[in-house]
Structure 1
């Protein structure tokens, strides 16, 4: 079946990746697994319309109803579609549930609309003044995504997880099992991964991205590195990332390199007394200069400039 918001790839028999289409508003990747008599969905996109399409596709391709939906972390690009799964068992950590609730409570609908409209206006101005082609392309995709979010804002409904896990949860079903693991604070204050042992597939959420700058500002980069180290014992043949195309186990190492390089890069310049604005005038570390989501690089430098100063850390 043709999908408007994502492309569907059967990574292994019964294990599917739902990779978002750029600028269509779904934002964060999702996926689903045929467990036998029921289906599990991993993450639920940023738009209810995309989530509806995800559920219809999952049930069509597996031939089974969706019983479980997993929230890898609290960010709306992975959880705003929960309302399409409110009749299912929605799984997360307690902290993720708490943060989803906080996100809805922080601003009223009118306040969220006003903030997003202001963002859209500033984004248009930023694009007009940007000479770097790669950055302009990234900003244009982000603007397109945000416009679709603004259009769907009236449709959003707060639906919280109903089954909470701490460290590990295994779902044993007739066709295959899946393992949910929570290793702590990395990309956010609470991130979980899903491992399909029979097919050796890792659903990484935003702990692993492929060919994209990774937003670092809601987590703890050093603990993120520790989490990635803890994936070493897993036999992994394919990685479904939070953003970017389906990857392989080598992308776990590339994610570690990105985090280490960004920390080292900012630390080195902070030790020379440079401000975030001055660091941003320097060339991007070469091997990361071609990554997508280029607008995240600036956000990361600003975050890390403050982070390394207050954490009193150094990297070489």
Structure 2
């Protein structure tokens, strides 16, 4: 039987959790749905990841108002994907921050990504009619920038390519806590369709070198304590390598994409088959791994039409 395309069949509402991961630092999580982060400073609040629509962003704001009445001044977006950025208008922030590379990807492929993700995962676009358009940053940076929320310092950095070419992490030094976006996941499949497999492990090494007390990952639960932090980093590394290596072996001997798909399933199903959004991500991941093995450095743009054709070829 043909599987429902991507996550079109996922209609179950997820339970929201709101965990304090450090002093006045919170992780908004929802059983494998995209996470958001909250950083409370002396006078204002920074949000990390906006959610896909203003209506879903309102759920984050509701949780914020349970712990502070300070205004939201900044929204930081770790990368350009629609499910992360299109709800930004709801926060009324004066500053929306992205890396310069992420902004370039909005310009290059933002509309195609919106169309593609809306088709893949309609539940995450609740209230989509309220999206005013593509989200553009007011502020960009190349390698790093620092924002001061009063005395609280927040470092926003690019540590390397991984989930996308424009990934940023947000580090709060006084608590030794990092918001990693989708570079690190917890019991959730990594989406690698726009990823860089060769670079991803090195980026994880640079995150691990911070010796963090907590991570708020892109998906999955808050990671508190070095054991959980390092366990999730290593599980993410294993997922990325276990996806790439079988696909690359097939591609480099001249095998087909379908053969690469079968090789990746044989490697990954036993280890990751119960991860959130695993079946959704797998075809996109195999297609990108196959391309990267053939030296296609820049991920090809996913369109709604390309999505359906690839899904039919692999998951059909």
Answer yes or no: is the 8 Å Cα contact 1:73–1:92 preserved in 2: yes
Matches within 5 A, 1:153-302: 153-158=128-133, 159-174=135-150, 176-247=152-223, 248-250=228-230, 251-282=232-263, 283-285=266-268, 286-295=270-279, 296-302=281-287
Distance 2:171 2:284 in 1: 30
Deviates more, 1:300-309 or 1:34-43: 300-309
Answer yes or no: is the 8 Å Cα contact 2:80–2:110 preserved in 1: no
Q: Among residues 58, 70, 75, which one is paired with 1:64 in the alignment?
A: 70
Q: CA deviation at 1:270?
A: 3.4
Q: CA deviation at 1:42?
A: 0.5
Is 1:51 the counterpart of 2:35? The answer is: no
In structure 2, runs of 5+ residues without a counterpart are: 1-12, 298-316
Cα deviation code 1:297-316 (max 9, x no counterpart): 2221122123212359xxxx
Helix, strand or coil at the partner of 1:210: coil
Deviates more, 1:188-197 or 1:296-305: 296-305
Matches within 5 A, 1:75-114: 75-103=81-109, 105=111, 112=115
Is 1:15 the counterpart of 2:17? The answer is: no
How many residues align? The count is: 275
Distance 1:237 1:42 in 2: 18
Distance 1:173 1:310 in 2: 43
Moved over 6 A (4+): none
Distance 1:191 1:167 in 2: 10
Q: CA deviation at 1:74?
A: 0.3
Match of residue 303 from structure 2: none
Q: CA deviation at 1:97?
A: 2.2
Given the two structures, how large is their TM-score scaled by the length of structure 2?
Answer: 0.77
Cα deviation code 1:180-220 (max 9, x no counterpart): 11124321120100111222211000111111211112131
Given the two structures, how large is their TM-score scaled by the length of structure 1?
Answer: 0.77
Larger RCO (CA within 8 A; separation ≥ 6)? 2
Q: CA deviation at 1:256?
A: 1.7
Distance 1:303 1:105 in 2: 20
Q: CA deviation at 1:103?
A: 4.5
Matches within 5 A, 1:28-43: 28-43=34-49
Helix, strand or coil at the partner of 2:198: helix
**Cα pair distance change 1:5/1:304, threshold 3 Å:** same
